[in-house]
Structure 1
Amino acid sequence: MGNSLLISLFLFVSAITTTETQLLFDTQQSCPAPDSTLNYRPVIGIVSHPGDGATGRLSNATNVSYIAASYVKFAEMAGATVIPLLYTEPSQILNQDNNILEEFSAASQASTVQLVENVNIEGTVFGRFPPVLLKKMGTDCLVMQNHHFGISPERFQANRHLSSFFRVLTTSTDENNKVYVSTVQAKRYPITAFQWHPEKNVFEWGSSRIPHTEDAIQVTTHVANYFISEARKSSNKPVAREVLDKLIYNYNPTYGGKAGKGYDEVYLFTPHSALEFSVEKKEQCN
């Protein structure tokens, strides 16, 4: 009698467990398919800068260039991979007009970000920010500035090339209370430009002025997610084999944070080392 009762109880429990497992399996099978119009393997190109990012402490080669590892991590944290684009490769990237720039005292400065009055943020980088966080951005120093040049709202509006292409979303104030444009968005293209550093809050520790509060981390997270969500809308998909050969994973970052200033990590590039890497890859494929 006792054994029969135990067997019956075991079969009853097994039946319940099997049913729950089947229900869980059925639930998983009913998950909606991802949006087929989006690219869930976005690849971001980051252009390197001349120098080693550490005023010669890491490399004094004349043809060296660098990419801050924080830029790479910023893209990766939102679900993208990165390919380095060496600044020495193209003969010309953009036309320059330094006459539109003005001097500002915003080097190594934590600051607020002020939304332009009556600006419509729907569909912009700030559209996904919680209202509480948006309000704090205007009162708390949640972003890092690190520049000596910028453009005032007045000069921006007076330049027909800029004002017809971009609209101003935010402004910020430097240490001398001079106001400059800090965020713009293209009117007809998916382009957003920042005169502040959303990546530093999470990934850079060289300056005590970089904000690392929970609110500051949220700012970085929301900006990264917006940036990569826009990239997913692109239908441009490079050849998979070429992507693997050129990904930033093929390079090793250099730690420079012990000096207590500058970038914590950088990727260093020279045309010679890039050529060697390309030849090595070809030999492996042959």
Structure 2
Amino acid sequence: MIVVEQGGVLLLYQNIFCESFPHLDMKAYQVLLVLLLTAAAADAQSFHPGKCRRPSVQEDFDVMKYLGTWYEIEKFPAVFERGTCNQATYSMLADGSVKVHNAELMSNGKRNTIEGVARVKNSSQPAILGVPDGPYWVLSTDYQSYSLVYSCTDHFLFHVDFACILARTQVLTEDVISRLRNKLASAGVNINRLTVSDQSGCERTKGKRNDRPIIGVLAQEVSSPTTKPNQTAYIAASYVKFLESAGARVVPVMINQTLEEYKKLFNSINGILYPGGSASITSSGYERAAKIFYELAIEANKGGDYFPVWGTCLGYEQLTVLTSGKNLLSLTNTSDVPLPLNFINRAKDSRIFKGFPDELIADLASEPLTANFHRWSLSLLTHNTNEELNSFYKVLSTNTDGTTEFVSTVEAYDYPIYGTQWHPEKNAFEWGKPYIPHSPSAVKTTFYMAEFFVSEARKNFHRFGSEEEESKALIYNYNPVYAAPDRVFEQIYYF
């Protein structure tokens, strides 16, 4: 017998192999070994002599009842599963096939996911589905609590099989497990290879938090000359202080990095903030990096890897382009003006504002506590008439320049993605302009907004590969310079 272990090492137990096929000469053994090595690379499972078993499957299988999430309880060891908390979610596609979304929790806290499509190959046997890697046989299920799945593929004189016991919850009673094991055994499957799946740590990210969140702040191109010619990008220090005030550390997200560098950083940080500024939102290093992280965040959140994104002013404008695929902004007379927020009725129940004290909400609605520094805005009419934006974002507040009502605060319906056209960080940390509000309520607004976004980042468990790698990435490696009164910011990090 040949065994492919989880580490990918092929072990040839020559004595068992020879006993199983005594009629083969040594050259035949070598040819067979090459064939099996090739198959092993594809299946990475245990090989067993003989052809696949053909156990009976669920009668009158109803795929619609089977849809939803299943948790892995026991399984045959598999190379393609490297983490814990393995689960599969099945959903129906428009063409009648079944979308399969598999997820597992890796040791670094990241959710590893993969998607595929399963199809019923023979309508008379709906419990036998075909997936890209082979068959998927539902041997037994009550749709509500348990499922027994088996898969087997023939390779010349050997077969490779896989089995697992699934449940709708992360636990299953011993009597049900025993009954399902017996069903496999009665079909001639060696149940001694079943191992218990680790679901014990699956709740560790639910109801718990990451108390050492690290948030990326996106840099952008320098728009005017600096004292050093090699300084090509910057981050205003107020964004760093904003996040640090709520207990986060910051990593600068440099522009013009490779896709692989951005992916690696994404898997190391717990959220990202797109700051205000003057970069192009259709063609710049800022736009390119924002797009990559936005797409990575969407993909991650779909797979259960909670990753928040925040856009302030230019950052929110960038989000509208990334979501709609178009620049839909219009000019407004909103430069250098503090404004109260015109709350939409549902705002108090939103994720952003539900933690705000009632008196602060009242002050935000009646006093000019939000600093606006933008020439471009997304009109409420444009938002409401654009299908992509209207279905993606919930509008929480609006403002007006006297002519155009524009969107000022949003949160995504289905993702932890947020945007403000105004600047929550300025009230506490920028002093160069007289129209930035500094009242107690204005400063409280800064900290409540910071606390909210950092609390979102605490739900993410990405981390750097080592403490050394983390230390090298943190913004502590750079020194901000005093920029006022020549610049709009008090302090700036240049890169």
Q: TM-score, normalised by structure 2?
A: 0.44
Per the alignment, residue 76 of structure 1 pairs with: 244
AA in 1 matched with 2:439 = T
AA in 2 matched with 1:40 = D
Assess, with a 3 A threshold, how the Cα gap between structure 1 residues 173 and 167 changes in structure 2: closer, same or farther: same
Per the alignment, residue 219 of structure 2 pairs with: 48
Per the alignment, residue 229 of structure 1 pairs with: 455
Assess, with a 3 A threshold, how the Cα gap between structure 1 residues 36 and 131 changes in structure 2: closer, same or farther: closer
CA-CA distance at 1:59 after TM superposition: 4.0
Paired with 1:134 and 1:46, the residues of 2 have a C-alpha distance of 27
- Mapped pair 1:188 → 2:414: yes
Q: CA RMSD in A?
A: 1.9
Matched-pair contact (CA < 8 Å) for 1:166–1:186: yes
Q: 2:480 aligns with which of 253, 270, 277?
A: 253
Deviations 1:233-282 (A, max 9, x none): 112222332111110000010111133x410100001xxxxxxxxxxxxx
Task: Classify the secondary structure of the residue corresponding to 1:234.
Answer: coil
Task: Classify the secondary structure of the residue corresponding to 2:435.
Answer: coil
More strand by share: 2
Task: Classify the secondary structure of the residue corresponding to 2:382.
Answer: helix
Matched-pair contact (CA < 8 Å) for 2:231–2:494: no
Q: Which has the higher contact order (CA 8 A, sep 6+)?
A: 1
CA-CA distance at 1:187 after TM superposition: 0.3
Task: Classify the secondary structure of the residue corresponding to 2:408.
Answer: strand
Q: 1:100 aligns with which of 321, 325, 328?
A: 328
Per the alignment, residue 277 of structure 1 pairs with: none
* Unmatched 5+ stretches in structure 1: 1-34, 270-286
Per the alignment, residue 37 of structure 1 pairs with: 208
- Mapped pair 1:161 → 2:388: yes
CA-CA distance at 1:61 after TM superposition: 3.7
Paired with 2:469 and 2:453, the residues of 1 have a C-alpha distance of 23
Paired with 1:177 and 1:135, the residues of 2 have a C-alpha distance of 24
Paired with 1:222 and 1:264, the residues of 2 have a C-alpha distance of 22
* Unmatched 5+ stretches in structure 2: 1-205, 260-287, 292-320
More helix by share: 1
Paired with 2:334 and 2:230, the residues of 1 have a C-alpha distance of 28
Per the alignment, residue 150 of structure 1 pairs with: 377
Matched-pair contact (CA < 8 Å) for 2:408–2:421: yes
- Mapped pair 1:243 → 2:470: yes
Deviations 1:187-236 (A, max 9, x none): 01111111010000000011100000011001101000001011001122
Matched-pair contact (CA < 8 Å) for 1:256–1:263: yes
Task: Classify the secondary structure of the residue corresponding to 1:128.
Answer: coil
Task: Classify the secondary structure of the residue corresponding to 1:129.
Answer: coil
Paired with 2:360 and 2:347, the residues of 1 have a C-alpha distance of 17
Q: Give aligned-pair identity as a percent.
A: 35
Paired with 1:36 and 1:127, the residues of 2 have a C-alpha distance of 18
Per the alignment, residue 444 of structure 2 pairs with: 218
